[in-house]
Amino acid sequence: MTTKTSNETYGAGTTVDTEFSPPPAECERILRIFAARTPGFTKDEALLSGVHPRTNQVSSRHSSPTCNDIDVNHAGLYPATAALVTIDGVTGPEVIKLPTVPQWDKDRASNSPLVYRGTAIYETADRGVWFQLHGSLDSWKMLALLGISKDLDSEILTNDAAYELIQERVLTYRAREIEQLVVEKGLSGSIVYSPEEWRQTEMGRSLSRHPLVNYKQQAHCAALPHVSFPILEDKRPLAGIKVVELTRIIAGAAAGAALASMGAEVMRVNSSKLKDYTPVQPSSLMAGKTTIDLDLEDPADHKKLMQLFEQADVILQGYRLGSLSRRGFGLEAALELASKRGKGVVYVDENLALMVITQSDLGGSR
């Protein structure tokens, strides 16, 4: 990829690409990375070269006349579509104030400058080494780590003032010190590495041994017959497929939205005990889904989720490593249910970088 970068767009400590490879070449490059690193991915050159993104649309040279084109100019608006939502006659950011929209992230909805700047990049005592604070869904825990209490919220009235205060506190730590503190407190954050520096870290080296996408058939469970897709009036490719989505934040929720857009019946399981701003983004992350609020500490709700598992064709989970397994909803439980009903299941574990971490108490937003 040929790019030029600038460190002036978002301020010191950040870089952004200012020139890009042509979209067709870049799309083909990314596709071939997936093909090379994904077990079982086709190596058929005719197929790989047949995926052809056009300047304003993406389609396949081998597509049928009924294949939908994607207007990538509009698709690029995806992150901003929350501002385009209309609920009960209200449009834009004001929808989060409606009583019909769950408020599971009241801190972020408060528009506090300190909460807003709880997620940003700050220089450490190691001059030239920056740290990404990720306030995630509980910025006050992150701020408390730096000695910043809610008492200061009424005094810090602008985002710039909040940034200056947090920067002042972060400068008292070396990069490794604050990273260790973040891990110990179960919070999110990371030293800002260059690509080469990242590849030399323990996690970078470990991740390099894994494909971008990995899958495997679970051979230790009962061999089950193939089941045909249901024949429905809805001709979308996943029509009739039932998906149970247990995710938070963005990546897993976006995957569920993609499945819903292809016709799948996606049931998203939320918990009002956990902070989550996904429900206020209905046009992007919640589109086409049904939601249910469950508390797995409640036996009745635990039973409801088990019933959803019994019916699911696909289970999409994005919580912390081992979290659902400890509650009886891990891969083994899903396979046992599939064996009992005589129908297989696809269990998708969206585990990001935690796939190589063995410390189950590492923190994060998941």
Q: Tens digits of per-residue pLDDT, 223-249? A: 788 888 778 888 888 889 999 999 877
pLDDT exceeds cutoff 70 at 187 = yes
- Using 50, 70 and 90 to split pLDDT, how confident is the model at 181? very high
- Using 50, 70 and 90 to split pLDDT, how confident is the model at 277? low
- Using 50, 70 and 90 to split pLDDT, how confident is the model at 20? low
- The C-alpha atoms of residue 5 and residue 81 are separated, in whole angstroms, by 27
Percent of the chain at pLDDT > 70 equals 69
pTM for this predicted structure: 0.65
Worst-scoring range by mean pLDDT, 136-140, 176-180, 290-294, 359-363? 359-363
Higher per-residue confidence, 60 vs 241: 241
What are the pLDDT digits (tens) for 153-174?
888 889 899 999 999 999 999 9
pLDDT value at position 54?
43
The pairing of beta strand 57-60 with beta strand 51-53: antiparallel
pLDDT value at position 365?
39
pLDDT exceeds cutoff 90 at 123 = yes
Angle between helices 299-311 and 331-341 (to 10 degrees): 60
What are the pLDDT digits (tens) for 195-208?
888 888 888 887 77
Residue 297 burial (CB < 10 Å; 0-12/13-18/19+)?
exposed
Helix (H) or strand (E) holding 144: helix 139-145
pLDDT value at position 66?
41
What are the pLDDT digits (tens) for 319-360?
877 888 899 999 889 998 988 888 889 998 886 654 444 433
Percent of the chain at pLDDT > 90 equals 22
- The C-alpha atoms of residue 28 and residue 47 are separated, in whole angstroms, by 11
Residues contacting residue 359 through CB under 8 Å, at least 6 positions apart: none
pLDDT exceeds cutoff 70 at 304 = yes
- Token output for 320: 């912390």
pLDDT exceeds cutoff 50 at 64 = no
- The C-alpha atoms of residue 335 and residue 220 are separated, in whole angstroms, by 10
Higher per-residue confidence, 306 vs 292: 306
What value does the mean pLDDT take over residues 298-321?
92
pLDDT value at position 59?
35
Instruction: Give the chain's mean pLDDT.
Output: 76
Higher per-residue confidence, 16 vs 221: 221
What value does the mean pLDDT take over residues 16-23?
59
What value does the mean pLDDT take over residues 134-150?
86
pLDDT value at position 264?
92
Higher per-residue confidence, 40 vs 232: 232
